[in-house]
Amino acid sequence: MKMHFSENAKRGLTLIEALVVIACVAILIAMILPSMGGSSRPTGPRCMNNQKQVAIGFLIYAEDNHGKLPFSIPVSSGGTRDYLDRNQTFPHYQKLTYDTNLSRFLVCPADKQRKPTASLQTLTDANISYFLNADISTNNPAQSILSGDRDLQADGKPAHHGTLLLNTNMDIAWTPELHAGRGLVGFVDGHVEFSQSSHLNFLIVRQGLSAFHLSVP
């Protein structure tokens, strides 16, 4: 599987980075201002920013690796594809070395079961909240799912740690664990969407893949 980027890709990447900076500023303002109706701060905007950072990391990796993502390249060629068989997610993220502090963006603020680690070098699946789609379709980057909250369920059964094979005949939904039955999905073009469980199946089906593998931390 190859990802093909035009000469405009680098300019587009700069735009994405600018949007992320704007999002970060907005999040900082939200954190400084007192919350209305209680002391807790909403976790959705921070989780959204995390997945934007993840998307930027993989876009940069693809630019430096002939349009390919690490999970489409075997370990023998410097990628991480083999780790799908080993049911491990963290090696894919360890390839995103453009930002040595990226590990701080890999845990959703609402995820009480996962804790950030100090660096990518010490990363394990216990330090990650977001799944990765190992069979990305690049025909339409705005519709192709790259990442998402790990609290998925398929046909009513929670997704466990490991590589999950999904097909479009399954009923895919969120559990209540992270965002009260909603969830965040990141796309190849860098944007992130909040979705209800009822909308999640639509996002999956419109990718045009009959089956695909998710690496769930």
Encode pLDDT of 63-120 as tens digits. 899 889 999 999 999 999 999 999 999 999 999 987 768 899 999 999 999 999 999 9
Helices in the chain by DSSP H: which ranges? 9-32, 44-64, 90-93, 197-205
pLDDT for res 36: 34
C-alpha distances (whole Å) from 153 to each of 98, 156, 200 are 32, 6, 11
Q: What is the mean pLDDT of residues 32-52?
A: 64
Instruction: Specify the 3-state DSSP secondary structure of 193.
Output: strand
CB 153 within 8 A of CB 173: yes
Query: Strands 152-154 and 172-174, how do they pair?
Result: antiparallel
* pTM tops 0.85: no
Encode pLDDT of 149-182 as tens digits. 999 999 999 999 999 999 888 999 999 999 988 9
Break the chain down into helix, strand, coil percent, rounded to 5.
35, 20, 45
Dihedral sign (CA 151, 198, 50, 40): negative
Enumerate the domain spans of the chain: 43-216
Give CA–CA dist 197/200, Å, rounded: 5
Q: Taking all residues of the chain, what is their mean pLDDT, rounded to a whole number?
A: 84
